[in-house]
Structures are given as structure tokens and as C-alpha cells.
Amino acid sequence: MTLRGAVALVTGGAKRVGRAVALALAARGASVAITYRSSAAEADQLVRSLRRRRVRALAGRADHTDVAQIRAAVRAVERTLGPIDLLINSASNFYPTPLATVTEAQWDDLQQVNLRAPFFFAQAVAPGMRRRRRGKIINLADVSAFSPWPSYLPYCTAKAGVIALTRGLAKALAPHIQVNAIAPGPILPPPGLSRAERRRALANTLLKRWGSPDDIAHTVLYLAEGTDFVTGQVIAVDGGRLLA
């Protein structure tokens, strides 16, 4: 796939990793749409910045727990920018959920945003990609899908589901659509992470340092533009976390 002239949708693209991905795609010549749930100011700032660079850009609010809003967001992008060639499922939420205190609402929230939303975004873009016989979907998983954290089990379970979803979509959408996942490790310390938890995160990597959102963005570029012969795979971008 050539990104110049392509249309990319990055869910959760207003901040952190999603923002880095949106910027990287725009730099390669793609038109970029992002969704956000509550980061309106950040989304507006990003879109204005991209438009100043003569990039066709769009931001739309979508509650990622509401399937109707997911479908409406896809329709809005395609009406404004054109058919979606590349979907990056980056939207995520993350917070501690100790086993003894997990509520149904927390479980549902983490499953809906981290697993159900990527499925329904993929479902919404797939028919058009199939008609055009081209398209790519890249899901953001997490290394915790392979080695779950006891105090974040609903989140880890959802991210493990993202890996199964990626492999299933790769089969369901072959041969013309490639579907892959990226499993970040310690890229950005999440809000609220204690100093001791940060030290442990670094100690548990081979490279002994935090990664950058740009490390994820570069991997997205590889899967989007660097190859059309990879599908159903999960690339860990984790500084060696899974081996440590």
C-alpha cells in the first residue's frame, strides 16, 4: 500500500500513541481522520496542526462503547475524506482493577473500549475494503495479553482478545485485506503509575528504558506501507519485555 493519497482512520488519535501514529501517517501523505471520546481540545489542536501542513484531516467524537456511534463515525469519515484504506484501532482505556474489587461496570467498560470497539470498527470498514479489494487493519494490543498483570485482569483479558480478533479477521478478510497487531510494552508510563512501578517496568525489559510513541508509529508504517505480505501477526514493540 502507498500511503500518499490513502485515507487512514486512527481511533483514539488525539493523544499519546494514537497522536504519534496520526502524525506519522500524515507525514507520508495520507489523509487522516481521528476519533476521540473526551479529548476534544487535543483533537482540535491536532487537526488544526495537520491542516496547516495541507493535510486533509478530520476529528470526530465517538463514544467507543456505543456501536451506533462507531458506525456513524466511519460513515462521516468516508463522506468527508473518502473510502477508508487503513484502520488503526488505537483507542484504549486502562486503570487498576484489583480482583477483589472489580465491578461489572468496570469489566464492561474495559471490554467494550479495548475489544468490542475494534471489532465493530473493523466490521464497519470491511465491506468497502472488500469491494475495492484492498485495505489494512492494524490493532493495538499489549504485551500484557501474553503475561497478564494481576491487578489489571479485565484490561489484559481484553487485549488478549484483540490478538484473537486480529488472527480471526486476517482469516475472514483474506486475501485482499491484511490484518495485524502491535503489542506495545513500556512505551509511555500511564497516569498514576508509582515510581516503584516505573522502576519495575524498566527492570523487566532487556533494553532498560522506556520506548517512545514513535516506536509504535514506525511499526505502523512498516505494516501499512513496508509490506503487503504480512497478515495475522503480532509484533511486540516492548524493549525485550517478553524475553526478560
pLDDT digits (tens, 9 = 90+) for 44-57: 999 999 999 999 99
pTM of the model as a whole: 0.96
Fold of 7-237: Rossmann fold (3.40.50)
pLDDT digits (tens, 9 = 90+) for 191-224: 667 788 888 888 889 999 999 999 999 999 999 9
Percentage of the residues of the chain whose pLDDT score is greater than 90: 93
Catalytic residues: 155
More confident residue, 199 or 168: 168
pLDDT digits (tens, 9 = 90+) for 86-120: 999 999 999 999 999 999 999 999 999 999 999 99
Give the side-chain half-sphere CA count within 13 A for 119: 18
Q: Examine the pLDDT at 151 and tell me if it is beyond 90.
A: yes
How is the chain split into domains, by residue range?
7-237
Cα–Cα distance between 157 and 152 in angstroms, integer?
Answer: 9
What is the C-alpha radius of gyration for the chain, rounded to an integer number of angstroms? Answer: 17
Instruction: Return the pLDDT at 169.
Output: 98
- Residue 205 sits at φ, ψ, to 5 deg, of -120, 155
- Residue 177 sits at φ, ψ, to 5 deg, of -120, 130
Instruction: Return the pLDDT at 191.
Output: 67
Instruction: Return the pLDDT at 204.
Output: 86
Contact at 8 Å (CB) between 106 and 97? Answer: yes
Contact at 8 Å (CB) between 33 and 49? Answer: no
Cα–Cα distance between 86 and 168 in angstroms, integer?
Answer: 18
User: Which residue type is seen at 101?
Assistant: T
Instruction: Return the pLDDT at 17.
Output: 97
